[in-house]
Structure 1
Amino acid sequence: MKKFEEKTIETESIYKGKIVDLRVDTVTLPNGKTSKRELIDHPGAVAVIALTKEGKLVMVEQYRKPMEKSLVEIPAGKLEEGEQPKITALRELEEETGYTTEHLEYITSFYTSPGFANELVHIYFTDNIRPLKEAVGTDEDEFVELMEITLEEAVQLEKEERIHDVKTSYALLFLKLKEAQK
């Protein structure tokens, strides 16, 4: 066994949902003892850092039930089964913002909460967007408001905790570093 590896002895499925599945794994620890791990399986997600021709950041505001408040975020969404992340990124950009692009640049990916979830978020960048001829529209249970804001306005929203999620904070850091390199 590798130095920190935990070997799964048993898996108990707790819940299978539309977005996540929950399970409890019984594991053997590196010291030979056993423990339980409560885990969330997630298919993964994408997010898009999109800039208008004027250099404004395309954002969406939507209500987030776990926090019981609205957050301002970069466009994002869940990977569908068998879907490539770049395809998901384009779909989510179109659905949530009404914009499309011919070029999405892969930036990075990261685990959101590796202590209990396997959600991997892929981040893409585009500064070459154009409005769609016909609106695609969001999912029937999704309500978002489009915003186009400057980086300075986004930083202020972050201070106010209206931007308060890791993918959007990462996007702001990315844009600040990009700006500093000019």
Structure 2
Amino acid sequence: MPKPFQFNANDVTVEKRETVFQGFFRMDKLWLTHARFDGREMPTFTRELFVRGDATCVLPYDPERDEVVLLEQFRLGALGRDQSPWLLELVAGMNEDGEAPEEVARREAEEEAGLTFGHLEKVCDYLVSPGGTTELVHLYCGHTSTTDAGGLYGLEHEHEDIRAHVVPADEAIAMIQDGRINNAAAIIAIQWLQLNRERLRREWVAA
């Protein structure tokens, strides 16, 4: 059997592309074709694509107190499901043109939680839902102090209403296990913390 990744972007032909909606978000429609695994060419087909820039998410972690900071806020996409549409999430923001992910992490930590970071450790980059959107998330864990953390934050003109919670690491892990936290960035970051927690407590406390 051939190994994975035999194709690349050169094996895709976009015959036509047009913007079909431009509001708070943008939607494009594409006519395209691409190579197939059996050697043939895929007939031309259409797809709608949610065009969204890259984002940065960061899990604030205090290794001395063994606590994380999680943000509670309303999310429209969770409305209508058998759960509250107020989710517990990470510090997060969209990357502006030319802005490094680390800059976004530090800016959003101040705006959304009143936090500053020492060391930022990369967790991973991941595509949010590549079947329909362009968004890629840069995910980090940030060294912070939770001593004075918690409270209400958010930018009024951006209609943000955020409550920052200080949560013991064990409780955050339990919320992944029982489904109280069910958004991808938080799940990935907290599970990563579970794997790297003892190392971070050694390295970051010593620093």
TM tier, smaller? 0.7 to 0.9
Matching residue of 1:157: 175
| Pair 1:130–1:72, CA change in 2 (3 A) | closer
Q: CA RMSD in A?
A: 2.4
> 1:121 and 2:137 equivalent?
yes
Q: How many correspondences in the alignment?
A: 178
Q: Deviations over 1:12-57 (max 9, x none)?
A: 1012233x32101000232241000111111111111111241101
Aligned partners of 2:171 and 2:132: how far apart in 1?
A: 33
Query: Where do residues 49-88 of structure 1 align in structure 2 (5 Å cutoff)?
Result: 49-52=59-62, 53-68=64-79, 69-88=85-104
Q: Deviations over 1:59-106 (max 9, x none)?
A: 101111111211101111111232221111101111111111233222
Aligned partners of 1:51 and 1:153: how far apart in 2?
A: 13
Q: The residue matched to 2:66 in structure 1 has which SS?
A: coil
Matching residue of 1:145: 163
Matching residue of 2:54: 44
2:26, 2:52 within 8 Å by CA — same for their partners in 1?
yes
Tell me the TM-score normalized by structure 1: 0.86
Segment drifting more, 115-124 vs 152-161 = 152-161
Q: Which runs of 5+ in 1 are unaligned?
A: none
| Pair 1:129–1:81, CA change in 2 (3 A) | farther
Matching residue of 2:26: 21
| Pair 1:103–1:155, CA change in 2 (3 A) | closer
Aligned AA for 1:43?
A: G
| Pair 1:67–1:128, CA change in 2 (3 A) | closer
Matching residue of 1:8: 14
Aligned partners of 1:179 and 1:123: how far apart in 2?
A: 16
How far apart are residue 110 of structure 1 and its match?
A: 0.7
2:121, 2:141 within 8 Å by CA — same for their partners in 1?
yes
> By percentage of residues, which structure has more helix?
2
> 1:173 and 2:191 equivalent?
yes
1:38, 1:116 within 8 Å by CA — same for their partners in 2?
yes
Aligned partners of 2:7 and 2:66: how far apart in 1?
A: 48
